[in-house]
Amino acid sequence: MNYYQFNAEDLAADDYFKEWVCSPTPDTDAFWKSFLNEYPERYYQLEEARALVTGLWAIQHLPDQTASVERIWSRVEQTLEPAQPVFLLRWMIGQRGWQVAALILLTLGAGWLGMNQWKTGKTLKNGLAQTNNDWTETLNEASQSMDIQLADGSLVKLRQGGRLRYRKELAGSLREVYLTGEAFFQVRKNPAKPFVVYANGLVTKVLGTSFRINAPADAPTVTVDVKTGRVSVYANQTSRVQDPESNGMVLTPNQKVVFHREAATLDKKLVDSPSLLISQNELQQFVFDDAPVARIFGAIEQAYGVDIIFDEEVMQHCTLTLSLDDEDLFQKLDVICKVLDAQYKLIDAKVVIYSKGCPNVN
């Protein structure tokens, strides 16, 4: 059976998975540990499914909750379609049954969580949880950012409320971490071991660079913006037929992508405040006196790493006198377009200049 394609509800309805959670054997334990070693990106799907199974098991074995459970079942059964057999829900078989089970867990409250955390070995203490012998999970409950030094020397600045799961030691062909919340990454270069961040359905893959990811647990979007280097971003697809990275995007400095989780689509943009990518000494060299706009646009592209698209034929006689400084990129573009009687738009992380020609040219 191809468990890679199962979501949390599918796993929670699977007998073999339930057997592992409720009554593990050496065979089932070996199978699911092997599955996670091969597909570590499915960790959170398994944890969500295990929480469903364990939580329902806890409720069904608490006698003082029986009356509450029966009342909730009664209300649920009254809302179901007449054609749907109630015994399917009673035995929690099928996806719809497990969705209702999750609703019951939320309705009864979180009283079972202590037992659930004990059973799954994930009790948090002082912001740090040991998930198993290979992985560590850190939750930042402080009011300021928390610095986390990874085994490869990479640095993660985890923002308040953020959660990071990572290996204590390097292993395998990838350096993998799992993020919920916001963090800034400074990744040490290692071409032999790409660095991969899994964050709420989005995968960010790099060799060595610095970038920020904002992936709140319940937010509809995930945002990645790049400060240095290049990153590849793509949806965490479940299909094993096609490489999901081939449908992704490559981001360069001053670019960001917004991942829409429900539609699994990517929207590339410029960051809100693009930063200079050259030194102040280099910047002082960009002084122009009645220079062609093509030369000026080329200098801006070099300074900010942004593509500027314009009609070279229409603007071939346009000239400007100005010097580049550390002024905001969009303020520069506003001034240039005002002088040239032009307009610009930001499309797919590019600056597109619209002009009918220069006002000072007959």
Longest CA span, the chain: 90
pLDDT along the chain (362 residues), means of 10: 77 87 86 77 77 70 53 52 41 44 45 36 39 77 93 94 88 87 95 91 90 92 94 78 76 94 91 90 85 92 93 91 83 91 93 84 50
pLDDT at 300: 92
Q: How open is the CA angle 333-334-336, to the nearest 5 degrees?
A: 60
pLDDT at 133: 54
Q: Which of these, 356, 269, 267, lies nearest to 317 by C-alpha position?
A: 356
Q: Which domains does the chain have, with CATH numbers?
A: 3-120 (no CATH), 128-270 (2.60.120.1440), 280-354 (3.55.50.30)
Cα separation of 182 and 299, whole Å?
33
Q: How open is the CA angle 70-72-76, to the nearest 5 degrees?
A: 115
